[in-house]
């Protein structure tokens, strides 16, 4: 499904070079739910950008569903982004002054889905994230959690095979963050979509099946979670407080 073979990504910042990914080898199978952890600057976002075809490797090969991505044209990459990948960002990235429904319809618009079908699909996606009653609200009329749900609806509206979430809960409080990871778990169980989820929060990461840790552009650990936490499990410190009372 997702296959990195000696992938290196170098950014130029003026005169200096920044090695964001350093000779990465990685395989994620279809239907896996993976968490990516690591300190800031460790290359998590670059990894996500390459998986999501927003960027291409400087060196090495990235295969998506067996196909090397660097051989695709600009337009083919755009098509991959619209059909195979759903991206959720830390900064929601909703179009301002545009209501939830139209934000969710955006990928369908660029994929050439027409009229009624487009509206129906977008409404269905908003229902999945529990925002059917807010579809005509504009981003500034929604809470942070709600905005991120709209962004998730936008990511899944085109039924992609991969859902990528780049610190989706980074701007949200822990309670809302837990709701969001619950939503991803539910989507993963119901649709069998591959989910890659970047987080700083070790507790959130334990809701997935596999945790990859990055430091300085290298994978330092890749562990399988034997018993992923179920949504709604109280945080350890909360559980302790509960016991002591």
Which positions lie near another protein, rule CB under 8 A? Answer: 49, 52, 54-55, 74-75, 78-79, 81-83, 87, 89, 93, 95-98, 102, 106-107, 109-112, 154, 158
State in angstroms the smallest separation of the CB of 74 from another protein: 6
Query: Cβ closer to another protein: 76 or 174?
Result: 76
Q: Are 122 and 46 in contact (CB under 8 A)?
A: no
Please list, residue by residue across 31-63, b when 16 or more beta carbons sit within 10 angstroms of its beta carbon and e when fewer do.
ebbbbbbbeeebbbbbbbbbbbbebebbebebe
Query: Cβ closer to another protein: 14 or 112?
Result: 112
State in angstroms the smallest separation of the CB of 164 from another protein: 10
Query: Cβ closer to another protein: 75 or 243?
Result: 75
State in angstroms the smallest separation of the CB of 231 from another protein: 27
State in angstroms the smallest separation of the CB of 58 from another protein: 13
Query: Cβ closer to another protein: 185 or 194?
Result: 194
Instruction: Give 166's strand partners.
Output: 198
The rounded distance, in Å, linking the Cα atoms of 222 and 151 is: 28
Query: Cβ closer to another protein: 82 or 194?
Result: 82
Distance from the first to the final alpha carbon of the chain = 48
Query: Cβ closer to another protein: 157 or 212?
Result: 157
State in angstroms the smallest separation of the CB of 19 from another protein: 16
Instruction: Label residue 165 exposed, middle or buried (CB < 10 Å: 0-12, 13-18, 19+).
Output: buried
Task: State the pairing for strand pair 194-198/85-88.
Answer: unpaired
State in angstroms the smallest separation of the CB of 232 from another protein: 31
Query: Cβ closer to another protein: 83 or 235?
Result: 83
State in angstroms the smallest separation of the CB of 90 from another protein: 10
């Amino acid at each position: 499904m997702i296959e990195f073979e000696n992938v290196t990504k170098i950014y130029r910042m003026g005169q200096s070079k920044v090695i964001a990914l350093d000779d990465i080898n990685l395989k994620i199978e279809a239907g896996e739910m993976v968490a990516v952890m690591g300190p800031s600057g460790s290359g998590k976002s670059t990894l996500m950008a390459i998986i999501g075809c927003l960027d291409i490797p400087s060196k090495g090969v990235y295969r998506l569903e067996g196909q090397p991505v660097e051989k695709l044209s600009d337009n083919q990459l755009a098509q991959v982004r619209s059909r195979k990948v759903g991206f959720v960002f830390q900064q929601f990235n909703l179009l301002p002054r545009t209501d939830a429904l139209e934000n969710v319809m955006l990928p369908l618009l660029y994929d050439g889905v027409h009229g009624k079908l487009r509206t129906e699909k977008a409404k269905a996606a908003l229902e999945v994230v529990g925002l059917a009653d807010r579809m005509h609200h504009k981003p500034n009329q929604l809470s942070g959690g709600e905005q991120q749900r709209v962004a998730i609806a936008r990511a899944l509206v085109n039924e992609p095979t991969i859902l990528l979430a780049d610190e989706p809960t980074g701007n949200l409080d822990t309670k809302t963050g837990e709701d969001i990871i619950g939503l991803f778990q539910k989507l993963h169980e119901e649709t069998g979509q591959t989910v890659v989820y970047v987080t700083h929060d070790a507790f959130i990461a334990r809701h997935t099946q596999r945790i990859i840790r990055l430091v300085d552009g290298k994978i330092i650990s890749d562990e399988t979670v034997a018993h992923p936490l179920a949504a709604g499990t109280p945080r350890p410190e909360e559980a302790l407080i509960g016991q002591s009372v």
